[in-house]
Amino acid sequence: MKVSIITIVYNNRETIADAIKSVLGQTYKNIEYIVVDGLSTDGTVDIIRSYGSRITKFVSEKDGGLYDAINKGIRMATGDVVGLLHSDDIFGSPDAIEHVVNAFQMHATDSVYADLVYVDRAKPDKIIRNWKSGAYKRQNFIYGWMPPHPTFYVKKTVYDRLGLYNMSFKSAADYELMLRYLYKHTITTYYIPETLVRMRVGGKSNVTLKNRIRANKEDYKAWIINDLNPRIYTRFLKPLRKIFQFV
């Protein structure tokens, strides 16, 4: 099974090498590694190019933002399964992709997801939040649940059949895609009870209160454009669930 891993980056010379080394250091070797750069000007491109042919595909050009770049990477992907590792993040262990592949092979599933920890930007060994996903129950979406997006690995055929990230969203296209795939079209999924990704704090949708309010509105929009009916409390429970990640 070939796994395509996509890293999206723009002007992030501080941590891009950590992300690249995390992918290249995986024990599972049938990996197609795709890096999509948004025409960085801070030296990021030089760092990426220093890895040469160890990066399978690399493109550096202007894009329409994060989700446009992700879609570009997915279109380039030729693997059986596609996943993301953002330029701020690293895998939880060298055998993270081994766990992903084993789950797909043993459970004949369309997708998998796992646990994630938020870590200090300067000290990635220091855990800030611990996101334990739990076994999948479709109805949990009603109560504000979602899988951690960076741990969500999907068969390429699902992307081909159900479409890519919706470009009308600024910060919640990941939620919309997982809602569309898992809740609306009921693709199969499997929970891996392992910390798959260590994510540095400072995600786009949570940086400011303004961004958090916008993300909340987009969460509701995700249901509406898919002709789904959330409960009154669904959009408000989603951010509240994060409180328990600090415990």
207-221 average pLDDT score = 75
202-231 average pLDDT score = 77
Identify the band that residue 205 occupies on the pLDDT scale cut at 50, 70 and 90. Answer: very low
- Give me the number of domains the chain comprises: 1
Identify the band that residue 175 occupies on the pLDDT scale cut at 50, 70 and 90. Answer: very high
When the pLDDT of each residue in the chain is averaged and rounded to a whole number, the result is 93
Domain residues for 155? 3-246
pLDDT exceeds cutoff 70 at 146: yes
233-237 average pLDDT score = 80
194-206 average pLDDT score = 79
What is the structure's pLDDT at 232? 83
101, two tokens: 């592949």
Cα separation, 132 vs 147, in Å, equals 9
The answer to whether 190 and 109 have CB atoms below 8 angstroms apart is yes
Please write the tens of the pLDDT for every residue from 74-117.
999 999 999 999 999 999 999 999 999 999 999 999 999 999 99
> Residue 86: which of 180, 187, 9, 34 has the closest Cα?
9
pLDDT exceeds cutoff 60 at 129: yes
Q: Report the CATH number that the domain containing residue 169 is assigned in CATH.
A: 3.90.550.10
The answer to whether 185 and 226 have CB atoms below 8 angstroms apart is no
> Residue 55: which of 76, 75, 40, 81 has the closest Cα?
76
- In eight-state DSSP terms, residue 184 is I
What is the structure's pLDDT at 243? 59
Q: What is the DSSP annotation of 189-200?
A: EEEEEEEEEEEE
Burial 180-204 (b: 16+ CB within 10 A, else e): bbbbbeebebbbbeebbbbbbeebe
**pTM, to two decimals:** 0.92
What is the structure's pLDDT at 212? 64
β-pairing, 111-119 vs 31-37, is unpaired
